[in-house]
């Protein structure tokens, strides 16, 4: 089950579209999710075998219950795919204190990661007034109408803003460096009972990771366009090329300890985790 439909998840759609699952001898059925994070409960009740999403969901589960069965493996999105978009010739984080600013409401990770960036820049996130309860689509409409100065969003909003002359990228969170943003997630029991199939999934992921960095955003757009019927082909290609240029996607499935720890730090400093997550408890390192 997918987490939700997003351009930065393109590698997951490409694995199947390029036939890499079939080449590894497995049949994978992709199921739509009703809402971000919905798949986690489906893992628990056995409805599905596998999902993808932020390791933060595994971290949170282990923070609440040290015996949580959830594990993650197969790093895919290795950097933060979000941006700050707005109109400004020069921009610093401190400017957010005086600007009309909207953060992502759909999922917690973008703000958790950004607030840690602010802390490291010597800025108290609590001092930043922000709109935090509107979807990105509404924030983009407000940005275009000049009722908002800066918004946090992923692609294709950044490329769309440039096309519409509504704003430019003021900050690409990918520039922060390694931050494990997305991986496969399963239960420990399922990972054991379906070990051969999950290893095949990891091999298929490794194949698409090699493919990504030997092809262009336009070529990737050709492969995954059917998953994004509402995104114009040129806009999709530009969005994917921006992510390729940023090195957004991991080059191999092994989970980055540095990226994992950076994500965990963001959630601890943001108050959503009580303690730092333990890599070995959350990551199945045998599935590579």
Structural domains for the chain: 7-79+178-282 (3.40.190.10), 83-176 (3.40.190.10)
| Tokens representing residue 259 in the block | 């990226």
- Picking from 53, 72, 56, the residue whose alpha carbon sits closest to that of residue 182 is 53
Q: Which two tokens stand for residue 9?
A: 């998840």
What are the E-state strand segments in 138-260?
150-153, 168-172, 182-187
Q: Spell out the per-residue pLDDT of the chain, length 288, in tens.
A: 998 999 999 999 999 999 999 999 999 999 998 788 789 999 999 999 999 999 999 999 999 999 999 999 999 999 999 999 998 878 999 999 999 999 999 999 999 999 999 999 999 999 999 999 999 999 999 999 999 999 999 999 999 999 999 999 999 999 999 999 999 999 999 999 999 999 999 999 999 999 999 999 999 999 999 999 999 999 999 999 999 999 999 999 999 999 999 999 999 999 999 999 999 999 999 998
DSSP string, 101-124: EE---S-SHHHHHHHHHHHHTT--
The conformational region for residue 36 under phi > 0 = left, psi -120 to 50 = alpha, else beta, is: beta
What are the respective helix, strand and coil percentages of the chain, to the nearest 5? 50, 10, 40
């Amino acid at each position: 089950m997918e987490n939700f439909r997003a351009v930065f998840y393109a590698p997951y759609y490409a694995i199947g579209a390029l036939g890499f699952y079939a080449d590894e001898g497995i049949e994978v059925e992709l199921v739509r999710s009703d809402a971000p994070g919905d798949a986690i409960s489906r893992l628990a009740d056995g409805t599905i075998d596998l999902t993808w999403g932020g390791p933060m969901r595994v971290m949170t589960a282990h923070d609440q219950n040290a015996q949580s069965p959830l594990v993650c493996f197969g790093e895919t999105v290795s950097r933060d795919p979000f941006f700050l978009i707005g109109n400004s010739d020069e921009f610093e984080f401190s400017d957010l204190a005086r600007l009309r600013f909207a953060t992502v409401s759909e999922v917690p990770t973008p703000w958790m990661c950004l607030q840690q960036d602010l802390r490291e820049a010597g800025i108290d996130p609590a001092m930043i007034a922000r709109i935090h309860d509107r979807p990105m689509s509404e924030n983009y409409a407000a940005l275009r109408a000049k009722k908002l100065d800066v918004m946090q969003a992923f692609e294709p909003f950044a490329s769309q803003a440039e096309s519409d002359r509504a704003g430019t990228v003021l900050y690409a969170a990918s520039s922060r460096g390694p931050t494990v943003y997305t991986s496969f997630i399963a239960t420990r029991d399922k990972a054991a009972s379906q070990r051969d199939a999950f290893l095949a999934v990891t091999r298929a992921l490794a194949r698409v990771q090699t493919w990504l960095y030997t092809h262009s955003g336009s070529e990737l757009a050709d492969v995954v366009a059917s998953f994004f019927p509402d995104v114009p082909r040129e806009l999709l290609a530009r969005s994917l090329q921006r992510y390729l240029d940023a090195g957004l996607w991991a080059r191999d499935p092994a989970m980055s300890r540095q990226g994992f720890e950076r994500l965990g730090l963001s959630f601890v400093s943001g108050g959503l985790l009580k303690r730092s997550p333990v890599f070995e408890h959350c990551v199945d390192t045998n599935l590579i």
